[in-house]
Structure 1
Amino acid sequence: MDPQTREFFVMEAVTRAEYVFVLSVGAAVDLTIEDVVEVYKGDKAEIHCQYAFTEEPTMLMVQWFVRKRDGNRERISYSDREQQKVDDDTDYTGRITVTGDDVRETLIIHNVQVSDDREFFCQVNGFVAGNGEGKTHLKVFAPPQKPVIEAVDSGISVTKDYPSKIASCEVRDCFPRPNITWYRNRVALIPKSGQVNVVTLLSTDSSGLHTVESELQYKVSKEDREAHFYCEVSYLVPGAVRTAESRPVNIIVHYPTTNVEMWKESPEGLVKEGDTVELRCLGDGNPPPDFIFTREQQPDEELDAYANSLVLMDVTRGHSGTYQCRSLDMGTEEEVIGSTQLTVHYLDPAVVVPKDSEVMQKGERLIATCNALSSLDTSTVWYKDDVEVGTGHMLLLNNATFDTAGEYYCVVTVPTLRGLQTSGSVHIIVQGAPEMKDADREIVMSEKVGRWVNLSCEARGHPQPTITWNVIGSQGWREVSNKVTEDSIQSVVTVKVTSDTNVSCNATNKEGTEMKSYYIRPIPLVSVLPNTAAEGSGVIIVVIIVCILLLAIMGSVIYFLYKKGKLPCGRSGKQEITNVYSTKEPVRKDDIVVEMKADKTEESVLLKGVNGDKKPPNDQYIDLRK
């Protein structure tokens, strides 16, 4: 039997069975099938259909149907006890398989798609044994991608009377449709007229996946400048509901300026003349407002500034005063003013009295003053030759001496403001007759005859003194040095010592004269002392004795060799021995003489010879021939 004939026979049998079923009230079938089957998109779905007859059917037929989008049903599979067949030309041809036995049958859908989210029907026909039908709703789930949030990058003004768009949230590729909820600082935003509004857009692609875009419209306030907004998406999965949050975003809130603060940015601490001063302004509005800088004394004169900063170069005391910065809000047209007080401290040049220089007489008293006008308390210190000599603006000089003369300078500082300093000076001249050290006594010296002696005279005085010399008793003298300073003079002479010499120097100016005296006692030349020649003669005697001993030893050696026969006995042998020690004519024993002369011409010493004779003093000899 071909398939078409068999299928016609089956349909006829179904018709007869239905008729018989009507007549056979006792026949029935118990059919069990899941109400809902849930599966992820792309997975495999299995729908089980289980049945049981009260009477064993002689024929059995199971068919699977699906509800189409237009509401009608379409068969996708047919089976009986002899065959199983998937219908052609349906959405499930090639994607389903059917397995089963006499009590159950399972429909397997491969690679489930979003379009498979529909009702599936299992129809069981046992003919006279009864028939039944059950249905299952296949639910398909596709989790969405992570929500993407975008905040409005431009500022949002708080002065608007209606909610403004502040952010949008997009969820893509989801099934079924997800829900989006907005949060501000972890608190859900509920739509409220005039305050919160949420606009949702839904789109579906050809595969049936949804894309949801939600736009949050919100009436911002100043407090929202630090708030964080985010969206949360909730979506269904098999057997549960899940959520996912976007990243938090912060929005730019524009609000008007209500307060302006003005301050001195630099320098730190007090300001002195010559400093560079920077004044700054800051308003509490957003965006930061533009400022106009003025002085309170000249409110209509705009100062040259950049943004929120005013720089004053090389300030003077004339820059002191109250400075203002003004902000005009274009939205509210309200002007807000900030101000600060600037004080520029100063220290004027020092004024010293007496001015420049002052002439004093020895013994006089003088008060010098040093004053400098300042906006702060000052401190004054006096110096002379880099040594501190006083403090305070007054310097007292009592009983002036030549040591009092010199350059005095005062340094005025401001202890509370480093770098503020000035100074002044005065030159003190002490006028008086010359003064010389040791002028009240005669200086006595001793020196050898013929030597040159340097004598020095130094005098202090004003006007500058002159020095003259008077030398008595010397055959020669001359000035070798003359040094002059502001209040002193030094002269050095060299004097040849020939006899008793008296030397005096005189220092003179219009105030008087001072004299200093020297006495030089000559030391005569001294002859060589007698014991010197005796000591020299003793040394010579020792040398002669050593020589005699050496000659005696030499003679003993020669005599010993002669007795042992080591030397030839003839005259020629003796001549050879002599030639060993000298190339000159041999010297006889009786001719050996040692001569000694004294080194000093003033005295001679006579040496005694072996024979005891005395020789003349000018030519002393020791005769060794005896």
Structure 2
Amino acid sequence: MQRTAFLTCLLTVSLMNQVCGLETVTGKYGDTVEIPCNSGLVSDVGVTFVKWKSDKDGSILVKHTGQNASSPTDGNYKNRVSIKKDFGLIITQVSLADQKTFTCMVVAADDILEYPVQLVIYKTPLQPQIANLTTAMEIGKLTTLAQCHTEGANPAANITWFKNKTPLIADGTAIKITNDVAVDKATGLSATTSKLEYTAVKDDINSKFTCQVQHIKSANMDSSPLVFTVNYPSETISFHVLPDGPVKEGDNVTLKCTADGNPPPSRYNFYIKGEKKTVEKSNIFILSNVTRQNTGEYKCSLVDNEILTASKNITVEYLDVILSTTGEVFKKLGDSFETTLDIKASGKTETFCKKGGEKMVGPPKFASLKYTDSGVYECVVTMLGLKKTQTFDLNVHGQPLIKSLTKKRGDGTNKILSCEAEGSPKPTVQWITNGTDVKFQESEHVNGKITYYITVSPKANVTVSCTISNDLGSDTRSIDVSSLVEDVTMDKQDQSEDYSDQTALAVGIVVGLMLAALLIGLAYWLYMKKFRQGSWKTGEKEDGSAEESKKLEENQSQKAEV
């Protein structure tokens, strides 16, 4: 600090000398400096002798008119000084030892003149270097963070500390800054060291500290930013349940305890249904395959400070579904059938049942079972991500029944017989063909229906029987099958018989109508005859002649015939 004050004072004196007429020249350490004689205004006319001297070294350089300049001694300036045409002094590789007053003495024909010049040497400092760096600081505790060092300066450099680009002001308590300036005995250059002691607060987390080297002859130079770990005890604690959202039976649940201290605590207590569990080097506790019995309050605390706790309630959602009918179910055709769902859940559920891709409202219910009701039924109940599925396979069984037995012509002399049937389980078929060659086929058994086919080639009349059977019974039908020629004849006979039947029906209708008319006429005649007899009984005179009565009777007879 004294050295810095001295150099600053020296520069100030130099400026004052300038004001007073003393010329000052500034040179950079290690460079070549030119010191003018009377500011370069000396004329060589009439000058016979020029000598440069210093207040410490005496004569440095002498030049007589018409002769080369020479150094009178073998001192510090030998081989480092020279003189210009205008009598200016040139000094190479200047150092702090050259920081003095040089005088140019000029001898003219009738006068001796002296022109003193002050030479000031400066050198810019090196980049700042950080030393004795700590890694962490504790809240409320004064800690030596680092030392900032620069060297090789003249005058000595100044160092300022910054936090987040704001200068730090030493207060002697929370912030202490100690600066030290050392001068190299060999070079005379100064080294400046600044030590920062700092009391951290919580807001210093992620703060950036820098030191800045300041010098009157160079731009400010900053160190790399320093970030320190700020250690502080835990003040708050939080409790987390993972995964976030509803907890369901069968889930694995992670309990996580987090404290805000730095470094973070490595030991925690977990309270599981009232029982304390201590974990080391971890902050989690896992509940595996939870059930509804795991519902309740959970909490955690620090091992070193059990007063600091956090808690959370956990509700384990559950879903129980019981279907009254399960597995494979066998029912008879026409029976009633109903199944029910017994649901126990911790929340609102949604239910649907389906057979194949067809949904239905509620569990299946049938008043009278049909074969088409057979199939696999699935009932699904969901709640908050839980899903339970119950299934059963309904089989509607019934005694086999032949619905029809038909025949039709095939190729050539072949006849194709179809035996259409219903029944479940799938009936087996037996054809009785009286030795006729046959080919068997059958359709798929769908919804209790199946059709059996045979192809026969009868050479004469045959009777073919279709018998189907399963565990519940059997049914048989027969059909007459003839050769192809006889079938044609029979077809013609069938047509003739049909025509005769139609003719007989028409004749019957006509005869019926005639009989009805006759009965009506007879009834009318009897009525009129009775009417006339009644008139005779009263003795009334009958109107009209016998001829008219005869005509009347003829008319009535005609109506009766109609």
Alignment-mate amino acid for residue 230 of structure 2: V
Task: Give the structure 1 partner of residue 340 of structure 2.
Answer: 369
Maintained 8 Å contact 1:345/1:375: yes
Structure 1 residue 216 corresponds to structure 2 residue 196: yes
Structure 1 residue 255 corresponds to structure 2 residue 255: no
Structure 1 residue 390 corresponds to structure 2 residue 374: no
Task: Give the structure 1 partner of residue 77 of structure 2.
Answer: 92
**1:159-198 to 2 correspondences below 5 Å:** 159-160=140-141, 163-198=142-177
Q: Paired residues, what number? A: 461
Task: Give the structure 2 partner of residue 503 of structure 1.
Answer: 464
State the Cα distance separating 1:410 from its structure 2 match: 2.2
- Residue 35 (structure 1) aligned to one of 23, 26, 33: 23
Q: CA–CA distance in 2 between the matches of 1:341 and 1:220?
A: 38
Task: Give the structure 1 partner of residue 223 of structure 2.
Answer: 246
Structure 1 residue 324 corresponds to structure 2 residue 285: no
Q: Pick closer, same or farther for the CA change 1:503–1:37 going to 2, 3 Å.
A: same
State the Cα distance separating 1:38 from its structure 2 match: 0.5
**1:92-111 to 2 correspondences below 5 Å:** 92-98=77-83, 105-111=87-93
Describe the superposition over 1:450-473 as per-residue Cα deviations: whole angstroms up to 9, x where unpaired. Answer: 6465554544047x76756565xx
Task: Give the structure 1 partner of residue 516 of structure 2.
Answer: none
Q: Pick closer, same or farther for the CA change 1:107–1:33 going to 2, 3 Å.
A: farther
Q: CA–CA distance in 2 between the matches of 1:505 and 1:335?
A: 91
- Residue 179 (structure 2) aligned to one of 191, 200, 211: 200
Maintained 8 Å contact 1:328/1:336: no
Q: Pick closer, same or farther for the CA change 1:254–1:510 going to 2, 3 Å.
A: closer
Q: Pick closer, same or farther for the CA change 1:156–1:299 going to 2, 3 Å.
A: farther
**1:216-295 to 2 correspondences below 5 Å:** 216-237=196-217, 242-266=219-243, 269-295=245-271
Q: Which runs of 5+ in 2 are unaligned?
A: 1-19, 40-45, 488-562
**1:497-576 to 2 correspondences below 5 Å:** 497-507=458-468, 514-524=475-485
Maintained 8 Å contact 2:257/2:268: no
Q: CA–CA distance in 1 between the matches of 2:422 and 2:366?
A: 23
Higher share in helix: 2
State the Cα distance separating 1:231 from its structure 2 match: 1.8
State the Cα distance separating 1:475 from its structure 2 match: 5.4
RMSD over aligned Cα atoms: 4.1
Q: CA–CA distance in 2 between the matches of 1:59 and 1:466?
A: 151
SS of the residue aligned with 1:115?
helix
Q: Please identify, of 219-228 and 310-319, the stretch whose mean Cα deviation from structure 2 is larger.
A: 310-319
Q: Pick closer, same or farther for the CA change 1:309–1:470 going to 2, 3 Å.
A: same
TM-score normalised by length of structure 1: 0.63
State the Cα distance separating 1:193 from its structure 2 match: 1.3
Maintained 8 Å contact 1:436/1:514: yes
State the Cα distance separating 1:179 from its structure 2 match: 1.0
- Residue 443 (structure 1) aligned to one of 397, 406, 425: 406
State the Cα distance separating 1:99 from its structure 2 match: 5.1
Task: Give the structure 2 partner of residue 115 of structure 1.
Answer: 97
Larger radius of gyration: 1
SS of the residue aligned with 2:97?
helix
Q: CA–CA distance in 2 between the matches of 1:451 and 1:244?
A: 115
Q: CA–CA distance in 2 between the matches of 1:62 and 1:475?
A: 159
SS of the residue aligned with 1:288?
coil
Q: CA–CA distance in 2 between the matches of 1:125 and 1:320?
A: 112
Describe the superposition over 1:56-96 as per-residue Cα deviations: whole angstroms up to 9, x where unpaired. Answer: xx99765544344xxxx644345566865423132222222
Alignment-mate amino acid for residue 173 of structure 1: G
Maintained 8 Å contact 2:51/2:106: yes
Q: CA–CA distance in 1 between the matches of 2:303 and 2:53?
A: 76
State the Cα distance separating 1:177 from its structure 2 match: 0.8
Structure 1 residue 338 corresponds to structure 2 residue 310: yes
Alignment-mate amino acid for residue 136 of structure 2: G
SS of the residue aligned with 2:203?
helix
Q: Pick closer, same or farther for the CA change 1:422–1:49 going to 2, 3 Å.
A: same
Alignment-mate amino acid for residue 37 of structure 1: V
Structure 1 residue 405 corresponds to structure 2 residue 389: no
Q: CA–CA distance in 1 between the matches of 2:32 and 2:427?
A: 130
State the Cα distance separating 1:187 from its structure 2 match: 1.8
Describe the superposition over 1:491-544 as per-residue Cα deviations: whole angstroms up to 9, x where unpaired. Answer: 666644133434343446786664444332431299xxxxxxxxxxxxxxxxxx
Q: Pick closer, same or farther for the CA change 1:522–1:135 going to 2, 3 Å.
A: same
Maintained 8 Å contact 1:33/1:50: no
Q: CA–CA distance in 1 between the matches of 2:55 and 2:177?
A: 36
State the Cα distance separating 1:344 from its structure 2 match: 3.9
Q: CA–CA distance in 2 between the matches of 1:121 and 1:265?
A: 88
Q: Pick closer, same or farther for the CA change 1:136–1:223 going to 2, 3 Å.
A: same
Q: CA–CA distance in 1 between the matches of 2:414 and 2:37?
A: 152
Describe the superposition over 1:368-391 as per-residue Cα deviations: whole angstroms up to 9, x where unpaired. Answer: 12345343433333333x232523
Alignment-mate amino acid for residue 289 of structure 1: P
State the Cα distance separating 1:490 from its structure 2 match: 7.1
Q: CA–CA distance in 1 between the matches of 2:179 and 2:108?
A: 52
Alignment-mate amino acid for residue 225 of structure 1: I
Alignment-mate amino acid for residue 378 of structure 1: T
Alignment-mate amino acid for residue 423 of structure 2: R
Maintained 8 Å contact 1:34/1:47: no
Alignment-mate amino acid for residue 94 of structure 2: V
Task: Give the structure 2 partner of residue 421 of structure 1.
Answer: 387
Describe the superposition over 1:581-618 as per-residue Cα deviations: whole angstroms up to 9, x where unpaired. Answer: xxxxxxxxxxxxxxxxxxxxxxxxxxxxxxxxxxxxxx
